[in-house]
Each structure stands twice: as structure tokens, then as C-alpha cells.
Chains A and B, each alone.
Chain A
């Protein structure tokens, strides 16, 4: 385990080398927030709350989504680059689990993004936008747990798409399309409260709702015990299912590599 944590730590450290990029990253996040803030301020107009959702809940939801998208870092061209450069064979010879190593490198970068990009952004945003306070310590812990589960779901979907690089010339297009679909369905672009009811009733069974929206609801203290339990069980079931699919894709890819030569 130590060894995998090292991958995360190295990524974390290497990110601190470029300072100007770092400040720029905060500015980028902040401006993205300002865009959404301005849009929803205009949509709300003078209204205090719409469908029981107050404006500060919306801004809080966007801020959390922003934090999550920076935490959910994935280097989605990693596998393709290794295959293209033909270094995948060497990587596989190393005595580490390739998949775990990828996960921890990404997680390291995600952790960096949260601490050094999201937290400063959130502090600045709290100056001009009204942000709701967390609804309690237990909910906060549950929120963090659901973020971790959500990350594992997202990461596995990304891994499955990346495994297509064993077969395709480039996966950039598919990765991009996948991200658009997830961002819309998971409520990264639009708070789930305002999603048309028909779409929402379908989404209830997908893992998407609990990736961005469940942490928001937990943070705001909007969920009852049974909803929380259902949400967590749903995530765990999806993690199991995606793990099996991911393993199958990975193994068939490796087989192909062995047969055709790297």
C-alpha cells in the first residue's frame, strides 16, 4: 500500500513546481464559478427561493460541483500514451499493479487540486456569494464518504473507456463524449433540483445522481436515513459491476497486446 501512496505523493509534489500555472488554475476555477453564479442570479431575479430551493443552496451546489470536478482528476490519455509510445510492456513488467498505480496517481493530483485549487477558490467565492454552512459533522463525514465512492465510480468508467485504446487509434473523442454525458446527467452543469422530473426518475437508478448531487445533499443535510442507505448501496453495487467490466476489458486488452506484440 505504501508504494501506491508514493505514486500519489509524487504526483502531488510535482504539481507544486509550476507556480504561475497554479495561480492561473485558481483564477480559472473562480471565473467558472462566476459564470454560473451570474447565470443563476439572473434566473432567480428577485425570487428568494424556487421550488423550495434558495439561491444560496444553488451557489453552494455549484461550488461543491466545482470542488468535485477538481477532485475527480483523471489523466484520461494515460493508457493510450503508454500504448502509443510502446512503453506499456515495460510498465507491466514492473512489480506493481498497473491499475492501482494509475488510480493513485490520479488521486494524488485530485488531492492537490482540492487542497491548493479548490479551497482557495471556495474561500474567495465565499466573500461575494452566499454559501450555506455544512449541516453537521456526521453529514460532513458521510459527504466525504460519498465523494470517495463517487470518485471510484467515475474513475472506473474512465478506465473502461481508456481500455478501448487497445483497439482504437485514439480514444480522445470517446473520452470527451463520455464526459459530456456524465457532466450533464450527474448534475455538474445544472443542479439536479431543476432537472425535468422525467429525466430524474430514470437517473435514480444510475450511479450518476450520487456522483455530484448526493454529496451536495449530504452537505446541506437534505437526505433521510433510508435515502442515504439507498444511495450508498447503489454506489457500492455499481462499483462492483464496473470493477468486473473493467477487469474484463483490461484482460482482453492485455491478451491482444501479447498476441500482437506491444
Chain B
């Protein structure tokens, strides 16, 4: 464990150092990511000035819902960035180098890929939203709730990690997976930001059972907020985010182990 941590810090040091070679640019990029993601939220805020609430959710409750997406994504790109862009790693031959080093393949990918600037942008936005909203929506922080919140964050990171670990495994067979990612991650994420209950049944089913983003933010938020629209779903959905995360990740990991042997290093 200590060994893994020291490796993580070595990667982090060099990663940060290279991104902060151009200090002004690095800061601008962090702000840019922050604002890009905040744009939709600002629009929502302005709209709710007029409409008051959406499906019974006030703006503060929405901010709490949004915060989970951004915090989990901020952590996700610290650990799963290499898997997010895995087809590039293979195309450019960077994966060969990973295989030439005396460490676990996934260990290296998870520890080394962090996009720190984007992570700061997303993470800060998530934390700001959480701090603004948590008090106003009446979340009572105690050992139990803090612990559950943390477990949900980990679960949410693992769910998204599992999605990309699956895409990465598919990369060994088909090389190009950008279209898959576009359909099954980026588009689903567009939906997942807002309350699940505003969508039609088909989209809801996808977000619960296919790409289970609903467990990243909607159901955990319901645990804290108990909004009336939760009545449409089984109550136990509010409690299983960590389990969904671990189970999906283990399944994706098994698929990854199986697929690794099909790696064909691209020639020159």
C-alpha cells in the first residue's frame, strides 16, 4: 500500500509539474472547465427564478443533485483518465510501454493518467455546489450521513470507472470506441445531470439499468432529500449505490482481464 501511494505521488508530482509549466494557462484552463460545466447550471438557476421548481425540486435541491455528478467526475478523472482515453493510448503505442514495466497493467493506468486541471475544475465546482446547497436543503451531517455520502461518492466513481473499463476492454477487439463512448457515456451524462423523474420511462430505464448514472446522483440525493418523486422507484434503490459501484467494477474488471490477451500492438 505504501509502495502504491509513493508511486501515485511520483506520478502526481510529475503530472502536476508538467501541466504547470505554463502557469497562467493552467489556471485559465481550470477556470474554463469550471465555467463550461457551470453554464448549464447558471441557465437552470435563471430559469427557476421564473418557474420556482422542477418536478418539485427547488434550485438548492438541484444544486445538491448536480454536486454529486461533478465531485464524482472530478475524482473519476484523477484515476480513470487513461481508461477514458484508452483508444488513444493504444493507437499511439503508449500501451506497449505500460506492458514493459514491472507493475500491474491496471495499476499503472489508474495511477498515472490523471488530468489534474480538469479534475480541479470539476471537483471545485462540485464542492462549491455542495457547500452552497447542503445547509439550505437541510442535510444533517452526522457520522452515518457523512459515511454514506462518502460511500456514494466512491460508488459513483466506480460506476463511471466500470463503464470506461468496459469500453477499454472492447478497445482490444475493435480499436475505435469513440462512438460508443459518445452514445453511452457523454449523452447519458447529459441526461443524468437533471432529476431522473422528468424523463420518459425508456430513458429512465436506460439510466437505471444500462448505464446506471441514476445511482451516481439521483438515488443518493434522494436518500438525503426524500422528494415525493422517489415514490415511483423501489425505496431500496436509495441505499445500494456503493454496492452497484463495486459489483459493476468487479464485473468490468473480470472482462478486462479476459480481454487483455487479445491485445495486438499496432505496428509502426
Q: Find chain B residues with CB under 8 A from A15 CB.
A: none
Question: Does B203 have its Cβ within 8 Å of any Cβ on chain A?
Answer: yes
How many angstroms from the CA of A236 to the CA of B81 in the assembled complex? 45
Chain B, interface size category, equals 35 or more
Which B residue's beta carbon lies closest to that of A193? B50
Cβ–Cβ contact A38 & B183, under 8 A: no
CB-CB contacts below 8 Å: B61-92 with A: none
Question: Does B28 have its Cβ within 8 Å of any Cβ on chain A?
Answer: yes
Cβ–Cβ contact A174 & B187, under 8 A: no
Cβ–Cβ contact A39 & B194, under 8 A: yes
Question: Does A28 have its Cβ within 8 Å of any Cβ on chain B?
Answer: yes
Cβ-defined partner of B32 (8 Å) among A24, A41, A177, A194? A177
Question: Does A96 have its Cβ within 8 Å of any Cβ on chain B?
Answer: no
CB-CB contacts below 8 Å: A178-221 with B: 179-181, 183-184, 189-190, 194-196, 199
The number of residues on chain A lying at the interface, defined by a beta carbon within 8 Å of a beta carbon of chain B, is 35
Question: Does B36 have its Cβ within 8 Å of any Cβ on chain A?
Answer: yes
Which B residue's beta carbon lies closest to that of A168? B25
Interface string of B116-140 (1 = CB under 8 A from A): 0000000000000000000000000
**Shortest beta-carbon distance, A46 to chain B, in Å?**
13
How many angstroms from the CA of A31 to the CA of B28 in the assembled complex? 30
Question: Does B175 have its Cβ within 8 Å of any Cβ on chain A?
Answer: no
A176-B36 contact given A169-B25, A184-B43, A195-B46, CB 8 Å threshold:
yes
Q: Find chain B residues with CB under 8 A from A51 CB.
A: 50
How many angstroms from the CA of A176 to the CA of B33 in the assembled complex? 8
Q: Find chain A residues with CB under 8 A from B49 CB.
A: 194, 196
Q: Find chain A residues with CB under 8 A from B185 CB.
A: none
Cβ-defined partner of B31 (8 Å) among A21, A173, A190? A173
**Shortest beta-carbon distance, A200 to chain B, in Å?**
10
Cβ-defined partner of B42 (8 Å) among A24, A35, A172, A184? A184
**Shortest beta-carbon distance, A129 to chain B, in Å?**
12
Which B residue's beta carbon lies closest to that of A174? B28
